[in-house]
Amino acid sequence: MNQDGNKTANAHYDAKLLSRRRRLVQWVLAPITIIVIALGWRYPLLGFAVPIVMLTGIAGAFINGRYVCGHLCPRGAFFDRIIAPLSPGRPIPAFLRTKPLRWTLVVLLMGFMTYQIAQNPGDVYHWGRVFWLMCVITTGAGVLLAVINQRTWCALCPIGTIQAAIGGSKGELLIDPETCRECGACEKVCPINIPIVKHKAEGVVREPDCLRCPECIRVCPVGALRWPDSDKQFAAQEKNK
């Protein structure tokens, strides 16, 4: 598909508008992380925000991969809106994305959480304190890792790993080999530092950790990026002409 065709296919997908909406939603969600961490030790029931987000993310993965991470996760919003301006935005080291490391972290953190809950399973406040503790530990790790990139933790996040395994191949981003100039503008704004351009020849960005956000499409100067739904709708419109 040529440049004009790509822009037509993306005509109904207003990436700039969706990016503004995403930012607004994230500014609403980011304080949740701060409130839970700051007050959860005193009001343990606030800790239940953690499993709600976890289960929402896992459920959402069956529909569209890591969409929840990119749009609806309070901690992801905290990293994007509060931490990003303070982070140098360096490339996330490849070894942090390796499956053995990530799944080991899933087992360790989930095992630790389960063990802690088992110490007093009949006390709902104890559950809340455990969830709060998990939030403090992992968010603290995320803030430390922000010396690399604001979303470095998201490349390791156990729930993100599970989401990627469940729905990482759903709704994959398309890249037009004929149109892409390899300028790298898309990669510079990708929250989780995905190597988009290297998939140019294949035409599909097969990256399970893609957050399904609109940022790369928003900045592409030639409209080389689009979502499958945009492509299908454009094809249907062309067929009906």
Q: How far apart are CA 10 and CA 178, in angstroms?
A: 16
Among the listed residues 178, 186, 180, the one whose alpha carbon sits nearest the alpha carbon of residue 215: 186
pLDDT in tens, 3-62: 555 554 554 578 999 999 999 999 999 999 999 999 999 999 999 999 999 999 999 999
Residue 200 has pLDDT above 60, yes or no: yes
What number of other Cβ atoms are within 10 A of residue 118's Cβ? 9
- Give the C-alpha distances (Å, rounded to integers) separating 164 from 63, 66, 69, 229: 12, 6, 10, 20
- Here the tokens at position 194 are 């995905």
User: Which residue in the block uniquely carries the two structure tokens 């100039």?
Assistant: 181
Q: Are 227 and 171 in contact (CB under 8 A)?
A: yes
Q: How far apart are CA 53 and CA 185, in angstroms?
A: 31
How high is the pLDDT of residue 145? 98
Which domains are assigned to the chain?
Answer: 3-14+169-239 (3.30.70.20), 16-167 (no CATH)
Residue-averaged pLDDT of the chain: 92
- Give the C-alpha distances (Å, rounded to integers) separating 173 from 6, 153, 160, 182: 13, 22, 18, 16
For residue 65, which amino acid is it? G
DSSP classification of residue 80: I
Residue 142 has pLDDT above 70, yes or no: yes
Residue 80 has pLDDT above 80, yes or no: yes
- Give the C-alpha distances (Å, rounded to integers) separating 170 from 1, 37, 126, 235: 22, 33, 37, 19
- Between 230 and 102, name the one with better pLDDT: 102
Among the listed residues 214, 212, 211, 184, the one whose alpha carbon sits nearest the alpha carbon of residue 196: 184
Percentages (nearest 5) of helix, strand, coil residues in the chain? 65, 0, 35
Residue 115 has pLDDT above 70, yes or no: yes
